Structure 1
């Protein structure tokens, strides 16, 4: 997830291809974390992910000649973005995935646009909440309740806290998206925004992981864990951010949010095929309701249905 950039265009076949690729990268992140958490503590995984991704993104910036910002205000904004867009959600998701399946984690993470609609309606004058968006939020939240189940309210479900942690990550992503609107006015290159926020979050998480997890005292993880960490950092973080900002420039923020329909499906398939994970029927029912809520929020499906209904009414009249 990343800050919004207001640029609205059409979704071409090429853009759809980028969107599907992005869903594979972000859906794969839940799979890679599922492999890594078996051998490494959460903060260490996040620190490695951010540190390696920051190094890769700086290499891309140097190759592309992206200008380094000089203003302290921009770097303070990078710090805020790094906390809310990387440090907090990455840590919550990794810890949550140590308790629940990667597919369920990806579904809960798909509530991010629902939180974004509410926060944007409160803090952004040009993104006020409409009746259609409120309906979508309601349907999506019902899907979340169906997916988690009533046990979360009584404390009988052992994984309830982990599921709430993933929802907390989604809320953090949404807060970052609203805050990130300011980078448009600051004139920061999108690639530098991604690089700056990952750099600042890595400066927080690397020392914290060394202090809390003391990874230098752990046994050396097997090769598959190192491969998962590299894939998580280079593919699901560095490359994913580059693709994300590319889609934003081509089709706009609304269109790129459609990736949330595809990420849970990707994570579920990877978790089931490779990790042997299984989801209960209510998880799929909740995912369906969340997808419906996102479709209502997006607005294009309701408008298409309304236009089709009106054309039929006109046809019957004449």
Structure 2
């Protein structure tokens, strides 16, 4: 009973936090390149997590580090850059809706790789969800012809990464504390993030001294500490006390928060995009019904 209440509480908190992440990414890109944003997001989150839970890594066995590393790249590092590049061309609200395909991808990968059973309702749900996804992309391209909607594929790639990550956590890391998983992830990612940041020309004087960069650093700090650091620990715990598909169901409600932010930031959103979004949510619901 306690876990049932907790999982819904975590789901609500994560919806609010990650729903706000898309607008923070958009604002951060005003002064930062996608490479700088992804690297700084990783580094800021790493510093925060090390300050509050570095000692937790002592509980990680040597045999677990392989999965910790894979989880870090799939669940944090790669998606951070994919979303940053995607939002250079598509609106933050659209990116959040495309991200809601994660439960569908989680289910597909669970069947193909992790031997999860697949029934008729789930097959229908997957088909409906991807029809909605395609409709959303096509309508977005029509409404905003200046945007390159091939970049929407980057969000779908991020969904694949997230789906792989939750299945890995559920299968191989149930015995590791959420804090230890998060800190282990980021100790692995620090050096790659530093290499990317150095190669992105961030340390040039004209970049560091730019007022736009200073403003973006405020946004990225909030994104890293709350949207990556704290949320990472909560999500790891949610996966452990629920199922991979329930945990990724947070993407049902993320678009609601993200779209509200997008509307406040003057992003366009048409009736047909609302309809396509509803089709995606319907597909996710069908795929998870009676599970």
TM-score range, shorter chain: 0.7 to 0.9
1:315 aligns to what?
Answer: none
8 Å CA contact retained: 1:151, 1:157: no
Q: Does 1:49 align with 2:44?
A: no
Q: What SS does the aligned partner of 1:214 have?
A: coil
1:17 aligns to what?
Answer: 9
8 Å CA contact retained: 2:74, 2:162: yes
Match 2:201 to one of 195, 211, 214: 214
8 Å CA contact retained: 1:44, 1:206: no
Shift of 1:75: 2.3
2:126 aligns to what?
Answer: 137
Match 2:51 to one of 36, 59, 64: 59
d(CA) in 2 for partners of 1:251 and 1:80?
21
d(CA) in 1 for partners of 2:198 and 2:150?
25
Q: What SS does the aligned partner of 2:31 have?
A: coil
d(CA) in 1 for partners of 2:241 and 2:166?
18
Q: What SS does the aligned partner of 1:202 have?
A: helix
8 Å CA contact retained: 2:125, 2:286: yes
Shift of 1:157: 7.1
Match 1:128 to one of 117, 142, 149: 117
2:281 aligns to what?
Answer: 291
1:81 aligns to what?
Answer: 71
1:34 aligns to what?
Answer: 26
8 Å CA contact retained: 1:24, 1:266: yes
* Alignment map for 1:84-163 (pairs within 5 Å): 84-125=74-115, 127-149=116-138, 158-163=147-152
* Alignment map for 1:181-260 (pairs within 5 Å): 181-184=170-173, 187-211=175-199, 213-217=200-204, 218=207, 219-222=209-212, 223-260=214-251
8 Å CA contact retained: 2:14, 2:235: yes
8 Å CA contact retained: 2:20, 2:258: yes
What does the per-residue CA deviation read over 1:8-63, in whole Å, with 9 as the maximum and x for residues that have no partner?
Answer: 98643x54333221111111111110100011001111111111111211222247
Q: Structure 1 residues 292, 129: closer, same or farther in 2, change over 3 A?
A: same
d(CA) in 2 for partners of 1:180 and 1:118?
16
Task: State the number of aligned residues.
Answer: 284
Q: Structure 1 residues 177, 249: closer, same or farther in 2, change over 3 A?
A: closer
Q: Structure 1 residues 268, 82: closer, same or farther in 2, change over 3 A?
A: same
Shift of 1:249: 4.4
8 Å CA contact retained: 2:78, 2:158: yes
TM-score by length of 1: 0.81
1:3 aligns to what?
Answer: none
8 Å CA contact retained: 1:23, 1:263: yes
CA RMSD of the aligned region, Å?
2.5
Q: What SS does the aligned partner of 2:60 have?
A: coil
> Unaligned 5+ residue runs, structure 1?
1-7, 304-318
TM-score by length of 2: 0.88
Q: What SS does the aligned partner of 1:293 have?
A: helix
Q: Return 243-252 or 40-49, whichever deviates more.
A: 243-252
Larger Rg: 1
8 Å CA contact retained: 1:108, 1:167: yes
Shift of 1:297: 1.6
> Unaligned 5+ residue runs, structure 2?
none
